[in-house]
Amino acid sequence: MAFSNLTSKAVLLYDEWIKDADPRLEGWPLMSSPFPTTFIIGTYIYFVTSLGPKLMENKKPFELRQIMALYNFSVVTLSSAILKKTMILIFLMSGWATGYSFRCDIVDYSRSPTALRMVRTCWLYYFSKFIELLDTIFFVLRKKNNQVTFLHVFHHSIMPWTWWFGVKFAAGGLGTFHALLNCIVHVVMYTYYGICSLGPAYHKYLWWKKYMTTIQLVQFIMITGHIGQIYIMDDCPYQYPIFMFIIWLYGSMFLVLFLHFWYHAYTKGQRLPKMAKNGISKDQ
């Protein structure tokens, strides 16, 4: 009886909470509730941390060079499409070049063409995070289990999960700045991985690999600095301050981790064994 009452209260709280969701996303794929996203992420975590390694334990690693090359370049194509046709066109035309101040930019909940373009690009960014889960699955199938670190799995799990809430409740405003930067970085990263997966004959074209960590560091500095403004502004009526704290916490955490890597890799001249080889990381 007590469990039944607790369940009923939880359902009532959920129904009350979901009433504040953005009605413009009614009927959109994966947007009905957080449970489909949670199920996908839960299945992903179970496979890459338990089921996958057990299935591969007594098997030879799969040779996935051609598949990985296709995958990496496909992701670059997707990221480029999002970046050039969506991020630059929609993010910029939906606010970042047409009125956003790069300070306290609130969410536009209207049904204007500009606001609806922003909603679409936020959903596309969220959906792209599910495609990137294949990164870890390839690690498992190739028996590169040392690359399936807590940090890697945490990053790939938390991004689509938190972005479901971002899209559902706050598709726009200053909370989208880090997505714009992240897509730019991903185009560069997956270009690197695509060339790398073609084989040793193409590695001579990867002379710029040492700059990848710098690019990632600049990304986190810009994200943390931009979102941190909310704590020093006198009055910012952004609708969901909790999202600002999550973005700031996430950006700060990865900034510290990458500064730690930078110190060991470039200041002390030592590579970290489980961090990114060749001066880069696939966690961002």
d(CA 178, CA 175): 7
**Nearest in space to 43 (alpha carbons), one of 130, 139, 116:** 130
How many residues in the chain?
284
d(CA 207, CA 189): 14
CA 187 to chain CA centroid, Å, is: 13
User: Which token pair is 178?
Assistant: 């880090």
Mark whether 264 is an active-site residue: no
CA 238 to chain CA centroid, Å, is: 22
Quick check: 155 and 77 in contact, CB under 8 A? Answer: no
Q: Which helix (H) or strand (E) holds 225?
A: helix 212-228
Catalytic residue among 152, 155, 156, 226: 155
Active-site residues: which are they?
155
